[in-house]
Structure 1
C-alpha cells in the first residue's frame, strides 16, 4: 500500500511540473501572438502593453487555458480505466 501511495505522489509531482511548464509556454505563445497582431495592424490605437494585458486576461478566462488541466485528468482516467479493465473484464 505504501508503494502505491509513493507512486501516486510521484505521478502528481510530475503532473504538476508538466502543468506549470505547459501553462508558462502557452501563455508566452499567446503573448507573442498578441504582440505580433499589434505590430501587423498599423491602425491600432492606444498602448501596446494595455492591449497585450487585456488579451492575456481574456486568455486566462478562456476554455483553451482550462484544457491544460487535462494533464491531471487524462493520466488518472487512464489508470482508473486500466484497473477496471484488468479487474472486471
Structure 2
C-alpha cells in the first residue's frame, strides 16, 4: 500500500512538473514567434498576426521538442529502476 501511494505521489509531482515545463516552453515559442513577426513585418497586426502565430504554434505542437518534454516522466522512472536494480543486485 505504501509503494502504491509513493507511486501516485511521484506521478502527481511529475505531472505538475510536466505541465509547468510545457506551459513555459509554449510561452517561449509564442514570444519568439511574436518577436520574429515584429522584425519581419513591423506593421502587421490583427487577424494576420494571430494567423501567423497560430500557424507557428501548430508547427510547435507537431515538433520533436514538444515530445521530448515527456522525458519528465521517462528519466526519473529509468533512474529509479536503475537504482532499484543496483541495490537489489548486491
TM-score (norm 1): 0.91
> Aligned-pair RMSD on alpha carbons?
1.8
Match of 2:57 in 1: 56
Structure 2 unaligned spans of 5+:
none
Match of 1:74 in 2: 75
Aligned residues: 88
Q: CA deviation at 1:79?
A: 0.5
Q: CA deviation at 1:58?
A: 0.4
Q: CA deviation at 1:42?
A: 3.3
Structure-2 separation of matches of 1:44 and 1:51: 13
Structure-1 separation of matches of 2:35 and 2:6: 43
- Structure 1 residue ranges (4+ consecutive) displaced by more than 6 angstroms after TM superposition: 43-46
Structure-1 separation of matches of 2:85 and 2:41: 58
Structure-2 separation of matches of 1:12 and 1:56: 28
